[in-house]
Amino acid sequence: MDRKTIREKFVEMYGQEQYNRFVLTLYDSFPLRDKLFYWQEQMLNDFCEEINLEMIDYENTYSVFNQCPLHGDELNMEIVPIVDGNTYPDLGLYQTSSNLFPLSNVNAPRDLERFSYPEEVEVYYCEECRKVRLALLAELVLKNNYRH
């Protein structure tokens, strides 16, 4: 079964919302977690049993679900800087990010629970998410300029 078919069947079984949550959670840690959450493993288990597929392991999970669930673009890997807190606190952009461009990942948030942290980290991002983010940023900057 090819990766596209597996993704489609996954959406069929769980619905788009659960699918999005499953995929976005794979990529919301910087660096990536070294194992899946229990609930993700359960979803995969049930899914593979349902369609009679050999269990999808950690590596294969990332190779099957390497697509932005919003835009369908294959994800790319890049090294980005790690930053503190919210980069755009005044523009109100951050709140919209999870809905409109969840995989832009132009930088990565610092994990405050760690003692030492590198300056940069590998992330996976969606090209289309970055375009949406840039367009929104430009719009907001324009609005702000007119106001002052």
Q: Which residues contact Zn ion (rule: CB under 5 A)?
A: 68, 70-71, 103, 126, 128-129
The answer to whether 11 and 19 have CB atoms below 8 angstroms apart is: yes
Among residues 111 and 139, whose Cβ is nearest to Zn ion?
139
Among residues 64 and 132, whose Cβ is nearest to Zn ion?
132
Residues whose CB is less than 8 angstroms from the CB of residue 65 and which lie 6 or more positions away in sequence, other chains included: 7, 10, 22, 23, 26
Among residues 41 and 122, whose Cβ is nearest to Zn ion?
122
Write down the least CB distance from residue 94 to Zn ion, Å: 17
Kindly list the strands in the beta sheet with 120-125, ordered across the sheet, starting from the edge strand earlier in the chain: 108-109, 76-83, 120-125
Write down the least CB distance from residue 27 to Zn ion, Å: 11
Among residues 57 and 74, whose Cβ is nearest to Zn ion?
74
The answer to whether 125 and 75 have CB atoms below 8 angstroms apart is: yes
Pairing of strands 108-109, 120-125: unpaired
Write down the least CB distance from residue 119 to Zn ion, Å: 26
Write down the least CB distance from residue 126 to Zn ion, Å: 3
